[in-house]
Homo-oligomer: A and B are copies of this chain.
Amino acid sequence: MPQLRIALAQTNPAVGDLSSNADKLVEWTRRAADAGAHLAVFTEMFLTGYPVEDLVLRTSFVDASIATLTAAAKRLADEGLGEIPVVVGYVDRTGAAPRTGQPKGAPLDAAALIHRGRVVTRTAKHHLPNYGVFDEYRYFVRGDRLPIFRLHGVDVAIAVCEDLWQDGGPVSAVAEAGAGLLVVPNASPYEREKDDVRLALCASRAREAGCALAYANQVGGQDELIFDGDSIVVDASGELVARAGQFREELLVTDLELPLADRKVTPGTFPVDAGDGTTITVERLELSAEPLPAYVPEPPTIAPRLDDLEEVYSALVLGVRDYFTKNGFQSVVLGLSGGIDSALTATIAADAVGPDRVHVVLMPSRHSSDHSVGDARDLVARQGLHSRLVPIEGIVDAFDKEVDLSGLAAENLQARVRGMLLMGLSNEHGHLVLTTGNKSELATGYSTLYGDSAGGFAPIKDVLKTTVWQLSTWRNSQAGRESDLLHHFAEPPIPENSITKEPSAELRPDQRDTDSLPPYDVLDRLLGDYVERDMGKGELIAAGHDPELVARVIRLVDLAEYKRRQYPPGPKITPKNFGRDRRLPITNRWRETPSS
Contacts and interface: CB of A to CB of B under 8 A. Distances in A.
A421 B450 contact: no
A319 B450 CA distance: 24
Interface string A52-66: 000001111000000
Contacts of A101: 127, 129-131, 162, 165-166
Contacts of A90: none
B403 A394 contact: no
A294 interface: no
A404 B578 CA distance: 38
A241 interface: no
Contact of A537 (B60, B162, B190, B583): B60
Given A226-B574, A312-B575, A403-B424, A595 B555 contact: yes
Tell me what chain A mostly uses at the interface: helix, strand, loop, or mixed: loop
Interface size class of A (residues with CB under 8 A): 35 or more
A569 interface: yes
A193 B575 CA distance: 10
A420 B442 contact: no
A130 B133 contact: no
A135 B135 contact: yes
Contact of A593 (B138, B534, B554): B554
A125 B460 CA distance: 41
Given A398-B397, A584-B562, A584-B565, A99 B571 contact: no
A70 to B, nearest CB: 21
A268 interface: no
B580 A133 contact: yes
A419 B413 CA distance: 11
Interface stretch (A108-116, A204-212, A368-376, A451-459): A451-459
Given A398-B397, A412-B423, A462 B576 contact: yes
A351 B308 CA distance: 57
Interface in A382-400: 390-392, 394-395, 397-399
B421 A406 contact: no
A19 B460 CA distance: 40
A419 B450 contact: yes
B571 A59 contact: no
What number of copies of this chain does the assembly contain?
2
Contacts of A138: 130-131, 135
Contacts of A595: 555
Contacts of A449: 423, 570
A573 B458 contact: yes
A531 interface: yes
Given A60-B536, A101-B165, A558-B592, A421 B408 contact: no
Contacts of A593: 537, 550-551, 554-555, 558
Contacts of A428: 403-407, 409
A593 to B, nearest CB: 5
Contacts of A42: none
A110 B96 CA distance: 31
A420 to B, nearest CB: 5
A390 to B, nearest CB: 5
A137 B130 contact: yes
Given A403-B421, A420-B416, A437 B575 contact: no
Nearest to A226: B575
Interface in A75-105: 99-101, 103-104
A574 B462 contact: yes
Scoring A327, A406, A454 by chain B CB atoms within 10 A of each residue's CB, the highest score goes to A454
Given A99-B167, A420-B450, A462 B391 contact: no
A264 interface: no
A131 B127 CA distance: 18
Given A167-B100, A427-B408, A133 B579 contact: yes
A509 interface: no
A565 B222 CA distance: 13
Given A394-B402, A405-B428, A416-B424, 6 more contacts: A392-B402, A403-B428, A407-B428, A423-B450, A437-B571, A461-B572
